[in-house]
């Protein structure tokens, strides 16, 4: 529970201490809380990191009312130019991104979004999204995409939300990423008339619901990441098709 009224601000990490604080937050959330792992995770120092980190901008969310550890949220983003430097996007490890690459559109990959536990379900995600929106608008990005995760690898527990995504939110073929074998998982686990929509939405992470409200779509199939203890979907959002009303939400950060 928060002791003080939050004083939020956002910025892009621009020094080693902020970069490290982002990795420490990711460690607390993805490793300690969710049981994930990774080849470059440093358990001694408490850092969740990977080889892509130097190529991503890290958008940080601060709560200046918090005396210690004021960085309470992070979202990392990578442009096409940076992906060309490293040789691939992070999502290439799980999804075939050929359709996105051949679209001719300016791409931005989003990932590693997390918040401290006490800030979830409130205004914090709104502020983080607003910072992403400003980043997108300043750089005239056409397509946002990235892997978003359900906790756990038991897909039977995720049959409702995965099926709902498959039948109602599948991206058009010209932009559709496809999960790579052998860890791809069909999402149409239930028939359309078997889906309990209320339960599906209840089981869906807030981040995925935020994408969908803005008109986001998903790639074909989920990807089961046993190392990170997640079931992933690839989200795609074409900024040109966001309605004026939704674009206002995006710019002003009014997502719930």
* pLDDT of 256: 24
Average pLDDT over residues 89-105: 96
Question: Across residues 217-225, what is the average pLDDT?
Answer: 97
What are the residue ranges of CATH 3.40.630.30 in the chain?
Answer: 1-77+114-139
Give the span between the Cα atoms of 58 and 21, in whole angstroms. Answer: 11
Is a pLDDT exceeding 50 seen at residue 231?
Answer: yes
Q: For residue 77, what pLDDT is reported?
A: 97
As beta bridge partners, residue 61 has 10, 73
Q: Are 239 and 142 in contact (CB under 8 A)?
A: yes
Q: What is the pLDDT of residue 110?
A: 96
The mean pLDDT of the chain is 91
DSSP characters over 175-222:
G--EEPTTSEE-S--S-GGG--HHHHHHTS-HHHHHHHHTT-EE-BSE
C-alpha radius of gyration, the chain, whole number: 18
- Quick: pLDDT tens for 184-207: 999 999 999 999 999 999 999 988
Q: Which residues, 6+ apart, have CB-to-CB distance to 130 below 8 Å?
A: 10, 251, 252, 253
SS3 62: strand
Q: Tens of pLDDT along 22-69?
A: 999 999 999 999 888 888 999 999 999 999 999 999 999 999 999 888
pTM of this prediction? 0.90
Element (H, E) at 235: strand 230-238
Mean pLDDT, range 246-254, rounded to an integer: 49
pLDDT-derived band at 252, boundaries 50, 70, 90:
very low
**Neighbour-count burial of 71, counting CB atoms closer than 10 A to its CB (0-12 exposed, 13-18 middle, 19+ buried):** buried
Average pLDDT for 168-172: 97
Pick the CATH number of 1-77+114-139 from 1.10.3470.10, 3.40.630.30, 3.40.50.261, 1.20.950.20: 3.40.630.30
Percent of the chain with pLDDT over 70: 93
- Residue 244 pLDDT: 54
Residue 254 has a pLDDT of 37
214 falls in which pLDDT band (50, 70, 90)? confident
Is the pLDDT at 253 greater than 50, yes or no?
no
Higher pLDDT, 181 or 211: 181
User: Which tokens sit at 227?
Assistant: 């190392």
For residues 34 and 48, the answer to whether their CB atoms sit within 8 Å is: no
């Amino acid at each position: 529970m928060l002791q003080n009224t939050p004083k939020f601000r956002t910025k892009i990490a621009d020094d080693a201490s902020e970069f490290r604080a982002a990795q420490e937050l990711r460690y607390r959330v993805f490793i300690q809380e969710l049981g994930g792992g990774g080849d470059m995770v440093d358990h001694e120092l408490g850092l969740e990191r990977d080889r892509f980190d130097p190529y991503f901008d890290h958008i940080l969310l601060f709560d200046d009312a918090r005396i210690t550890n004021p960085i309470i949220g992070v979202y990392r983003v990578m442009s096409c130019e940076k992906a060309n430097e490293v040789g691939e996007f992070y999502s290439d490890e799980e999804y075939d991104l050929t359709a996105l690459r051949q679209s001719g559109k300016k791409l931005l990959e989003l990932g590693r979004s997390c918040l401290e536990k006490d800030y979830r379900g409130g205004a914090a995600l709104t502020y983080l999204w607003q910072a992403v929106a400003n980043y997108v608008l300043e750089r005239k990005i056409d397509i946002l995409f990235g892997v978003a995760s359900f906790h756990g690898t038991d897909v039977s527990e995720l049959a409702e939300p995965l099926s709902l995504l498959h039948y109602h939110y599948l991206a058009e073929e010209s932009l559709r990423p496809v999960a790579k074998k052998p860890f791809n998982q069909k999402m149409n686990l239930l028939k359309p008339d078997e889906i309990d929509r209320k339960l599906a939405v209840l089981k869906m992470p807030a981040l995925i619901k935020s994408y969908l409200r803005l008109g986001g779509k998903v790639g074909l199939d989920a990807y089961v990441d046993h190392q990170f203890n997640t079931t992933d979907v690839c989200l795609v959002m074409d900024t040109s098709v966001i309605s004026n009303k939704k674009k206002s939400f995006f710019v002003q950060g009014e997502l719930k």
